[in-house]
Amino acid sequence: MSEDRFFTPREIAALTFVVLALVISVSSYRIGFWMSGGSGGSAMAAQRTLRAGASVCPGLAKDTVGARCPRYTRAVTLSSTDLPAVRAALLAWFDRSGRALPWRVGPEGRRDPYRVWVSEVLLQQTQVSRGRVYFERFLEAFPTVQALADAPIEAVLKAWEGCGYYARARNLHKAAGVLAREGIPASYEGWRALPGVGPYTAAAVASLACGEARAVNDGNVRRVLARLHGERQPTETWVQARADELLDPSRPGAFNEGVMDLGATVCTPKAPKCGECPVWAWCAAFASGDPAAFPAPKVRAAVRDVRAVALLLGDAREAVLERRQGTLLGGLMGLPTEVVADGETERDALTRLATRLGASVTGELGTVTHGMTHRRITLTVYAGVGGPARSPVAEAALSRLDHKALALWERRRASLFAPA
């Protein structure tokens, strides 16, 4: 053998084999990682990877908004054996990241029932950011059940101004009377028996304030569960069944608050932040690559257009006010109004209104609109003279539509006195 050769043919073959084996094993590991959805094929290991800051999916960094991951497309099915791990992950996240909200007063599972009840009723149709302001205002006016029960209904409606759906305020007042007489219920059934308290509110108060194992089922819960299970058309019954089986019976209050917070801050409707989600490793919607597609949008009932005319007799401080009847914000005080009936002109409705009030129309102030769940109201506001006695506007509970109508008068006055 010549002494200037470094390797024998046998040695070169062995070296090549080792290098090839190394390349193949590294490639297999990477392929296995993508196929299984995480390192080592385990959901928990994958979750540790994400928590550590690594991106499991290219383009899905921890701060990714509206995650879409076309390469991460394994099928995921949440089985009953996964439930303890999902609960633990959600609760650990809630312990770290749960929101501090003004109605979360008291220890977990023993929150102040009055605050929880008022907040749940108030937030049914209101976003949390706006609901916080209304909640503080309502609690300042009625800090206890007794204070609410003792207040006249007009004062309750006034404090409810802007929250909409005034039937809820009337029911709160009625139920406060029952609570003041009979005491605070300690169970779901007791809360459910109160006026205006449905299954959602009863489950929320029973779990958050009484520690009872009742799963809540609202829009946030529906969305999170539909995505976790990859269900596009979740029915009410389906959501409640999935919520019941996932609920942690040892910490029902914290679990319900955790799902609410996850839906409100991470698993949001249009842009879920899957990179921050504690349960992504079990989530079928995330695994599909298009989490925002779950659940499918609900088919909304058609919005009906309603045209009406109003007459402002007086000004923004003192005006003729009426208690409205029927479907046009019925039950609230407001400017005298007439709906423009089918086949009628706006002029016909205005004449009918002025005749009923014994007033004369002096001019048009403008038009305002107001959107409700199933109706869009277009109200043309006129100024007038004569008619019944005026009353103080500030003392009446008015709808947002009436505040907009009165703002027209303020604008007209400001333009009349504006410097030329």
Contacts with ligand SF4, residue ranges (CB under 6 A): 224, 227-228, 266-267, 272, 274, 277, 279-280, 283, 285-286, 291
Using the minimum distance from each CB to ligand SF4, give the nearer residue, 77 or 369.
77
Query: CA nearest 310: which of 398, 387, 381, 409?
Result: 381
CB 282 within 8 A of CB 86: yes
The helix (run of H) or strand (run of E) holding residue 375 is: strand 375-386
- Of residues 247 and 349, the one with the C-beta less far from ligand SF4: 247
Q: Which of 120, 231, 257, 338 is catalytic?
A: 120
Cross-strand pairs, 376: 305, 371
In the complex, the smallest distance separating the C-beta of residue 129 from ligand SF4, rounded to whole angstroms, is 20
Nearer of residues 122 and 277 to ligand SF4, judged by Cβ: 277
Nearest-CA neighbor of 365 among 352, 355, 350? Answer: 350
Tokens matching residue 341: 């009936």
CB nearer ligand SF4, residue 197 or residue 266: 266
Q: How far is the CB of 50 from ligand SF4 (least distance, A)?
A: 10
DSSP 59: T
Q: Which of 171, 168, 212, 174 is nearest to 190 (CA)?
A: 212
In the bound state with ligand SF4, the residue whose beta carbon lies nearer, of 169 and 274, is: 274
CB nearer ligand SF4, residue 275 or residue 384: 275
Which two three-digit tokens encode residue 268?
Answer: 């949001």
The CB-of-278 to ligand SF4 minimum distance in angstroms stands at 8
Give the burial class of 124: count Cβ atoms within 10 A of its Cβ; 0-12 exposed, 13-18 middle, 19 or more buried. middle
Distance CA 263, CA 156 (A): 31
What minimum distance in Å lies between the beta carbon of 232 and ligand SF4? 13
Task: Indicate if 410 belongs to the active site.
Answer: no
Could you give the CA distance from residue 310 to residue 406 in angstroms, rounded to a whole number? 11
Distance from C-alpha of 232 to C-alpha of 242, rounded to nearest angstrom: 14
How far apart are the C-alpha atoms of 177 and 198, rounded to whole Å? Answer: 18
Active-site residue set: 120
